[in-house]
Structure 1
Amino acid sequence: MTIVDATTTPPCASEPADYHDEQLHSPPARANITAAEWERLSAKRAAVHRQCAGCPLMIDCLYRAVVEVDVSGYAACTTEFDRQQIRHRLGIVIQQPSAVPFGAARVGGGPVSHEAVMTMRHAYPKDTCHQLADRLDCSTSTVKRHLRRAREQKHDESLLPRESIASRPSVDAVLDCFDELESSRVA
């Protein structure tokens, strides 16, 4: 008797470099890159989107990324902004982790301020998060956290703070909102 293991590895786990590309989840403005670069980026995004859409875990991944955990990057055929739009439509508020820093303080300079990260982003708008982190002598995750905070503040300026809702939306409600996103029709 032969036992067949029907589990499959999601494409994001078997080819993580494709899904960690910063330009997938924070694409540059069309005017800031050449036509050839735009075509390469569009083709890569479409290929990753098709692989992600074909994953047997996609629905569960989407639901968890929208309702349970505020993940960063490209996940379940969505960017951070896409998931934020879905949450807004469904009235979901993800509780952010404690602001207490983990680990030891940076040696020689203390933590990097939000203003320092935003000033550096303004001075070098085409730099990747990794390049900005090198310039600031901090981690890439620190830069990403501050950039996410700036995006959330910009988006939430017109919104009043809301209480977290006790009931979770259905999977169908999340999928309906996903279907309404322009980015859901990439491939």
Structure 2
Amino acid sequence: MTIMDDTYVPPCANEPEAFLDERLQSPPTRTDMSRAEWERLTQQRADVHRYCAGCPYLVDCLYRAVVEVDVFGYAACTTEADRRQIRRKLGIEIMQPTAGPFASPRTGAGPIDHETVLALRQAHPNDTCIQLAQRLGCSTSTVKRHLRRARQAQSGMSPQESRTPTVEEVLDCFDELESRRIA
């Protein structure tokens, strides 16, 4: 007797490295790459977009990535910039969890100073968050948190309680994105 497992595994779980490629988030300019590299990147983006678009979890994944958790990488046919744009349009902000008693401590020279992260970003504007984190000896999420805080301060945004958007509202904003038409 053969037992069949009908459990669907999303493509992002099978090939996470394709969806977490930072070049999909902040694509280099065409002139920074050879023609072959550019074509591979364009094909990779089209492939991950097509895989996401065909996933039965797309709507749930999109809603969670926009409303509940600030995820890294390409998720639900969106980049981080796309999800920020949707959040701005809906007037929502994701509150980052505070470190609880079981948060793992940083094993470096101590906490990273906010001003240090901003100064390093200014000194290396073309570096990715991963490269900045490597320079600082911290995690990518630490760099992203400091950069997000700086953007919020610059835009005058303040953390506030807001209503939770419906799935339909998120999908309507998604439909207005230019980047959803890649594949």
Does TM, normalized by the shorter one, top 0.5?
yes
Which secondary structure does the structure 2 equivalent of 1:93 belong to? coil
Provide the residue aligned with 1:74 in structure 2: 74
**Could you give the per-residue CA deviations for residues 71-102 of structure 1, whole angstroms, max 9, x where no partner exists?**
22221111112111112222223222226793
Q: Partners in 2 of 1:185 and 1:56 — Cα distance? A: 18
Q: Partners in 1 of 2:176 and 2:143 — Cα distance? A: 31
Provide the residue aligned with 1:184 in structure 2: 180
Q: Is the 8 A contact 2:30 2:38 kept in 1?
A: no
Q: Quote how far apart the aligned CAs of 1:164 are.
A: 2.2
Q: Partners in 1 of 2:181 and 2:71 — Cα distance? A: 21
Q: Partners in 1 of 2:158 and 2:146 — Cα distance? A: 20
Q: Quote how far apart the aligned CAs of 1:41 are.
A: 2.1
Q: Tell me the TM-score normalised to structure 1 length.
A: 0.81
Query: Structure 2: any 5+ residue segments left out of the alignment?
Result: none
Q: Quote how far apart the aligned CAs of 1:9 are.
A: 0.6
Q: Tell me the TM-score normalised to structure 2 length.
A: 0.82
Q: Quote how far apart the aligned CAs of 1:32 are.
A: 5.9
Cα 1:35/1:151, change in 2 over 3 Å: farther
Query: Structure 1: any 5+ residue segments left out of the alignment?
Result: none
Cα 1:119/1:71, change in 2 over 3 Å: same
Q: Partners in 2 of 1:90 and 1:129 — Cα distance? A: 26
Which secondary structure does the structure 1 equivalent of 2:12 belong to? helix
**Could you give the per-residue CA deviations for residues 130-168 of structure 1, whole angstroms, max 9, x where no partner exists?**
3322322223332233334344445xx1x55474224x3
1:165 aligns to 2:166 (yes or no): no
Aligned length in residues = 181
Q: Partners in 1 of 2:119 and 2:30 — Cα distance? A: 22
Q: Please, what is the CA RMSD of the aligned residues?
A: 2.7
Q: Partners in 2 of 1:17 and 1:122 — Cα distance? A: 28
1:63 aligns to 2:36 (yes or no): no
Q: Is the 8 A contact 2:20 2:72 kept in 1?
A: no
Cα 1:125/1:100, change in 2 over 3 Å: farther
